[in-house]
């Protein structure tokens, strides 16, 4: 079984602006201000439990409230998403020979909102989100679950990733890796 696994944020979609504006608005409710450069350099691509706590004096209750608020605000900013059309064209071309999986640390709610908004959900045979995984990237758990689902060996699998933690997780699977730098 051939398997192609894709990351969501930064790989299939540039969601920097979507996530930034949703987090910015959620954080402002707690009198925390972040600018775009800070978000891109220290937050984007990382699990919220890593980057939000330092912004709120490691208050875990506030962290969860901010994350929940961000999830609710996310759809408000979907018009700012940029689609990696080249990568979606590749998915359409390989779909006859490969199973197509999506593995992301984004929430199921936001992942499905994005896929529905862009009308891309139909392309995926399997979708794993934050709620389906116990250990986020750089742990390879999500990728390994997708490989197990389709009984795909590392030599039958290619993983498309953009972030350092995602690439590190992909390397731990021994699958082939395609790094997405910019689109």
Strands 98-103 and 126-128: parallel
Confidence of residue 104 (pLDDT cuts 50, 70, 90): very high
Distance CA 91, CA 164 (A): 23
Mean pLDDT of the chain: 95
The model's confidence at residue 124, banded by pLDDT at 50, 70 and 90, is very high
Q: Is the pLDDT of residue 42 over 90?
A: no
End-to-end CA distance of the chain: 29
Taking residues 152-158, report their average pLDDT. 98
CA geometry: angle 182, 139, 75, nearest 5 deg: 55
Q: What is the mean pLDDT of residues 42-61?
A: 90
7, 162 contact by CB (below 8 A):
yes
Q: By mean pLDDT, which of 36-45, 110-119, 158-167 is the weakest?
A: 36-45
């Amino acid at each position: 079984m051939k398997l192609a696994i894709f990351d969501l944020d930064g790989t299939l979609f540039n969601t920097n602006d979507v996530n930034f504006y949703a987090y910015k608005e959620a954080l402002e409710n707690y009198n925390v201000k972040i600018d775009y450069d800070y978000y891109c350099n220290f937050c984007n691509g990382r699990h919220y439990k890593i980057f939000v706590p330092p912004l709120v004096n490691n208050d875990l209750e506030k962290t969860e409230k901010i994350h929940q608020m961000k999830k609710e605000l996310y759809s408000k900013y979907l018009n700012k998403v940029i689609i990696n059309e080249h990568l979606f064209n590749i998915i359409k071309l390989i779909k006859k020979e490969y199973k197509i999986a999506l593995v992301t640390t984004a929430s199921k709610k936001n992942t499905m909102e994005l896929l529905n908004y862009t009308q891309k959900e139909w392309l995926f045979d399997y979708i794993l989100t934050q709620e389906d995984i116990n250990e986020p990237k750089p742990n390879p758990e999500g990728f390994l679950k997708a490989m197990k689902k389709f009984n795909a060996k590392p030599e039958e699998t290619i993983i498309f990733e953009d972030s350092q933690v995602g690439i590190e997780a992909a390397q731990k699977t021994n699958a082939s890796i395609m790094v997405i730098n910019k689109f």
